[in-house]
Amino acid sequence: MRFQDKVVIVTGAARGLGLGMCERFAAEGASLLMTDVLEEVHASAGRLAEASRGRIVSRVSDASDEAAVLQLMAYARDTFGKVHVLVNNAGISPKNNGRKYLLEETGFDQWQQVLAVNLNGPFLMCKGVLPLMRAAGGGRIVNIVSQASRGRAEFTSAHYVASKSGLVGLTRVLASELGPENITVNAVAPGFMRSALTDMLSDEVRGRMVERIPLKRMGDAVQVASAVAYLASAEAEYVNGTVLDVNGGTIMR
């Protein structure tokens, strides 16, 4: 019960890796604010609330929209008064018939949309949550990046890799800037995990990706949730500014 009496916000919480994180936090006693652009987030939160000791609430909200983020934080303040953990998990990775978009195929609108969700979103959320973490006397921010921002990225589009690489940079800067306030900022870099995002890949791309993983299998939401929970917990109190790879050994540093 590492998160008893802790308040946790997870973006992109309706399904996939984000929902897996919420399941872990709830199982360990957290109160949760689950947010997503999908209405489905309410049903996901409802299912979790039935079996949880903490308070579980949900909001439909776009993490890349400044006004919406401010409203979300006002709701968090009115509901909980403070926030201990923020997980910036919401992300998109558009695919072109099961494979990446090449540079020449990428419209500027799509480029901006990916940067907006994957990079502007975490910036807005980190900025917005600050007063609520100060109210808690400190906090933990965990940004979900990707193995695509950690090495050669042959299967992933330029906008996605640029956005996640930017988020690694944001993680480092904020770790320095917010450390003196007892707020740690770290990232988790998942490899090739089962979710709606990777369901979009063609069988051919999927096969080639699995072949490159030393463990020879895809990962899942539970493995990512374990890494996120560690970084968000008291056990990681002296871990700050790091990127934790969860990829079966595909990228080694």
Ligand X SMILES: NC(=O)c1ccc[n+]([C@@H]2O[C@H](COP(=O)([O-])OP(=O)(O)OC[C@H]3O[C@@H](n4cnc5c(N)ncnc54)[C@H](O)[C@@H]3O)[C@@H](O)[C@H]2O)c1
Cβ atoms 98, 208 nearer than 8 A: no
- Residue 196, both tokens: 């709606």
Is the CB of 1 or the CB of 215 nearer to ligand X? 215
The residues that touch ligand X, with contacts defined as CB under 6 A, are: 11-12, 14-18, 36-38, 62-64, 89-93, 117, 121, 144, 146, 190, 192-193, 195-198
Output the smallest distance, CB 142 to ligand X, in A. 11
C-beta closer to ligand X: residue 1 or 43: 43
Cβ-based nearer residue to ligand X, 52 or 118: 118
The minimum distance between CB 118 and ligand X, in angstroms, equals 6
238 included as an active-site residue: no
Helix axes 16-27, 221-232, angle to 10 degrees: 50
Q: Which is nearer to ligand X, 115 or 135 (CB)?
A: 115
48: CB partners within 8 A, 6+ apart: 22, 23, 26, 32, 34, 56
Instruction: Please say whether the beta carbons of 191 and 214 come within 8 A.
Output: no
Tokens 């604010």 sit at which residue? Answer: 33
User: What are the Cα distances from residue 210, in Å, to 46, 203, 205, 206, 217?
Assistant: 34, 10, 9, 6, 6
CA distance 211 to 107: 31
Residues β-bridged to residue 188: 144, 244
Query: Closer to ligand X at the Cβ: 11 or 29?
Result: 11
3-state SS of 116-156 is HHHHHHHHHHHHHHHHHHHHCCCEEEEEECCHHHCCCCCCC
**Catalytic residue positions?**
160
